[in-house]
């Protein structure tokens, strides 16, 4: 336990983000690097097709981008990383957010906007050559299929575990569609439409709290697969824009409540330590619990932190969103800073204020009870957490750490206003609300991933277009291109397979996708490093940015590349030998191939940089 008051962290986080947005984002990236102009016509107008290329209102697009980039990553990653203490994860989130993640998101988007809305993978052709483009595209397409499989599974498990989250998710869709139809079809203003939708959303929230929707895991996988296919193929103005816009309010409420929670608990100190150890257990980076590698302290903060904390600090997936769905809807270049840089800072706020701060406050249950005088243990016991067996929050799983931490911070905060009588009901309500927010993040990412896989698929086959246009049209048809990733994703999310663990001499049952999932964290972050290098090269070669400004982008990009590459090599060395043979073949092979591709692409980057200099 240390004496850091909650209010101090709140102030630090808000000041860092505010300064970063104005001084780095606005003055350097927007004005000096991108030189954004409101007069330049964006691809949303230039290539308008009524389906994917459609101009969107700045705030609608911000909502879409924020909701799409924020999956389970900004929540589960930092929650798990708390075993290092709360200080190191917070520093990584702030540093990664400001100098890497937000830069990566904004520049990927703007590079795409300047290249007709194509993905960052295709832009790599201009600066690194044709080979890089197709290697990059194939890599991303497979990664997106894996994301679909994992998120089908995560969302289905969340709906089974928290059936009220299923109710609100089902009710949410018609409300979003109604908003879209009101605004686009009947000419109702965005303001009026928003009020109507929000009133209905609040009613739906109260309804959902009392009416759970039960379905089995397997049935949810099927329903969500069909949903993902439909949502990815339909025009963006019809479902994606209104859904993400309204969803953003739910997510803002979630962040705003975290800020209010921190304000109301301002003078309480964190009950958790700022620092525990530089080395965490191997389970943090994918080693199996119970095995010698799972127990061993092999997850060193550096270089493995990007394998643990993804979206909250930086994530390669974001470059695919920024240069995929978002760049095709940007109606004014000046909107991009709020959408890209601001969207990523908002996601960092989710990690720092809604995950790290509440968990650090609620870390030691007995200490929290003693500091607040509230019946923490009794209420947790009713919610299924035995504080005798689990005295500190890191004894819980990643998602539970978050929901319990968020629920406790809110309950403590509102008890100060309305008295200790509301503590129990506030805890249960906000714990459920946290689970809803998690499922809302996951669901929006689910269908955006499929749409992005469709874009990558289309660009992957662009060589066919001049040779056989008919075949190209058939292969890249939006329904065909949406069905393929969904089917593959569902195949990996649906079945359970038996895995023998020699070290424990036992057989465990897992979902098929989890055999390769441990590889995803690493390959996703590798994608971030490569996308940021591409964006840095784009700024250098195409935008002719030189001197300190160029170094401000290049140095974090190279630092990230070194960190992720070292992290992956460490993972292959320390984690893979302890995994069951099936995992070694699945995840191990993917990471090994990724490291080879990684060196191939860094070679192409150096060649591109030399060419640009000469």
Q: Minimum Å distance from CB 179 to other proteins?
A: 12
Chain position carrying tokens 């679909």: 148
State yes or no: residue 290 binds other proteins (CB under 8 A).
no
Regarding 614 and contact with other proteins (CB under 8 A), the answer is no
CA distance 233 to 441: 20
Residue labelled with tokens 């990996």: 492
CB nearer other proteins, residue 240 or residue 413: 240
Q: Report CA-CA distances (Å) from 67 to 162, 310, 313, 431, 600.
A: 20, 15, 15, 20, 33
Which one, of 237, 236, 241, lies nearest residue 185 by Cα? 237
Q: How far is the CB of 217 from other proteins (least distance, A)?
A: 10
Does residue 442 contact residue 151 with C-beta atoms inside 8 Å? yes
**Interface residues for other proteins in 201-220 (CB under 8 A)?**
207, 210-216, 219
185 or 610: whose CB is closer to other proteins? Answer: 185
Widest CA span of the chain, in angstroms? 74
> In whole angstroms, what is the distance from residue 234 CA to residue 213 CA?
26
Residue from 179, 238, 423, 571 touching other proteins (CB under 8 A): that is: 238
What does each C-alpha distance from 151 to 16, 179, 231, 431, 440 come to in angstroms? 32, 26, 15, 21, 12
Structure tokens at 457: 């698929």
Q: Which of 5, 116, 161, 163 binds other proteins (CB under 8 A)?
A: 163
Q: Coil, helix or strand for 364?
A: strand
Question: What distances in angstroms separate CA 494 from CA 156, 214, 315, 343, 420, one per listed residue?
Answer: 10, 18, 26, 33, 44
Number of residues that bind other proteins (CB under 8 A): 37
- Residue pair 41/392 in contact by the 8 Å Cβ criterion: no
Examine residue 479 and tell whether it contacts other proteins (CB under 8 A).
no
Shorter beta-carbon distance to other proteins: residue 212 or 290: 212
Q: Which stretch binds other proteins (CB under 8 A): 9-17, 114-122, 148-156, 168-176?
A: 168-176
544 lies in the binding site for other proteins (CB under 8 A): no
Beta-bridged to residue 269, according to DSSP, are 5
Q: Got the DSSP string for 325-346?
A: IITTTB--GGGHIIIIIIHHHH
Is residue 189 part of the contact set for other proteins (CB under 8 A)? Answer: no
- Which range binds other proteins by CB under 8 A, 174-182, 269-277, 312-320, 513-521? 174-182
Of the candidates 4, 16, 26, 48, which one interacts with other proteins according to CB under 8 A? 48
Interface pattern 7-46 for other proteins (x via CB under 8 A): ----------------------------------x---xx
In the set 3, 37, 39, 187, which binds other proteins (CB under 8 A)? Answer: 187
At residue 62, the 3 state secondary structure works out as helix
* Site for other proteins contains 592 (CB under 8 A): no
Smaller CB distance to other proteins: residue 99 or 179?
179
Q: Does 231 bind other proteins (CB under 8 A)?
A: yes
Helix or strand run (H / E) with residue 280: strand 279-280
Residue the block writes with tokens 């069909």: 226
Binding mask 49-78 for other proteins (x = CB under 8 A): -x---xx-----------------------
Residues forming contacts to other proteins in the complex (CB under 8 A) are: 41, 45-46, 48, 50, 54-55, 163, 167, 170-171, 173-174, 177, 181, 184-185, 187, 207, 210-216, 219, 223, 226-227, 230-231, 234-235, 237-239
């Amino acid at each position: 336990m240390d004496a850091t008051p909650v209010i101090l962290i709140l102030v630090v986080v808000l000041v860092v983000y505010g300064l970063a947005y104005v001084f780095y984002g606005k003055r350097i990236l927007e004005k000096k690097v991108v030189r954004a102009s409101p007069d330049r016509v964006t691809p949303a107008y230039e290539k308008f097709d009524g389906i994917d290329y459609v101009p969107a209102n700045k705030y609608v697009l911000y909502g879409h981008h924020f909701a799409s980039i924020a999956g389970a990553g900004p929540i589960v990653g930092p929650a798990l990383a708390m075993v290092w203490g709360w200080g190191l994860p917070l520093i990584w989130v702030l540093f990664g957010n400001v100098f890497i993640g937000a830069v990566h998101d904004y520049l990927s988007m703007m590079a795409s906007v300047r290249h007709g809305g194509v993905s960052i993978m295709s832009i790599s052709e201009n600066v690194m050559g044709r080979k890089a483009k197709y290697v990059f595209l194939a890599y991303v397409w497979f990664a997106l299929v894996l994301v679909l499989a994992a998120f089908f599974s995560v969302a289905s498990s969340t709906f089974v575990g928290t059936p009220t989250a299923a109710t609100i998710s089902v009710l949410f869709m018609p409300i979003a569609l109604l908003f879209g139809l009101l605004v686009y079809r009947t000419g109702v203003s965005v303001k009026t439409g928003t009020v109507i939708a929000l009133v209905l959303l609040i009613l739906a929230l109260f309804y959902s709290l009392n009416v759970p929707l039960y379905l089995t895991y397997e049935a949810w996988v099927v329903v969500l697969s069909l949903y993902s296919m439909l949502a990815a193929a339909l025009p963006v103005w019809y479902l994606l824009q209104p859904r993400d816009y309204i969803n953003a309010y739910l997510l803002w409420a979630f962040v705003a409540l975290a800020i209010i929670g921190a304000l109301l608990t301002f003078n309480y100190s964190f009950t958790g330590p700022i620092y525990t150890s530089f080395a965490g257990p191997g389970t943090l980076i994918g080693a199996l619990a119970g095995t010698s590698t799972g127990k061993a302290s092999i997850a060193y903060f550096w270089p493995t932190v990007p394998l643990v904390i993804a979206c909250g600090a930086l994530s390669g997936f974001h470059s695919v969103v920024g240069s995929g769905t978002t760049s095709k809807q940007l109606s004014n270049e000046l909107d991009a800073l709020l959408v890209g840089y601001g969207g990523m800072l908002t996601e960092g706020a989710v990690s720092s204020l809604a995950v790290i701060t509440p968990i650090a406050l609620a870390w030691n249950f007995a200490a929290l009870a003693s500091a607040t005088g509230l019946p923490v243990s009794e209420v947790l016991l009713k919610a299924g957490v035995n504080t005798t067996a689990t005295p500190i929050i890191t004894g819980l799983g990643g998602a539970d750490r978050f929901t319990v931490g968020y629920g406790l911070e809110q309950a403590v905060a509102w008890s100060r206003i309305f008295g200790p009588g509301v503590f129990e009901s506030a805890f249960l309500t906000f714990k459920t609300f946290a689970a809803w927010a998690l499922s809302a993040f996951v669901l929006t990412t689910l269908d955006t991933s499929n749409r992005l896989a469709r874009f990558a698929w289309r660009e992957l086959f662009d060589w066919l277009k001049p040779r056989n246009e008919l075949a190209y049209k058939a292969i890249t048809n939006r329904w065909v291109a949406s069905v393929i990733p969904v089917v593959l994703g569902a195949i990996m999310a649906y079945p359970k397979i038996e895995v023998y663990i020699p070290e424990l001499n036992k057989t465990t049952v897992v979902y098929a996708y989890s055999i390769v999932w441990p590889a995803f964290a690493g390959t996703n972050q590798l994608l971030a490093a490569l996308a940021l290098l591409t964006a840095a090269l784009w700024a250098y070669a195409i935008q002719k940015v030189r001197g300190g400004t160029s170094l401000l982008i290049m140095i974090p990009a190279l630092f990230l590349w070194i960190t992720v590459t070292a992290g992956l090599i460490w993972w292959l060395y320390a984690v893979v030998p302890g995994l069951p043979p099936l995992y070694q073949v699945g995840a191990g092979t993917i990471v090994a191939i990724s490291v080879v591709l990684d060196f191939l692409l860094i070679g192409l980057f150096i060649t591109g940089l030399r060419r640009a200099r000469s």
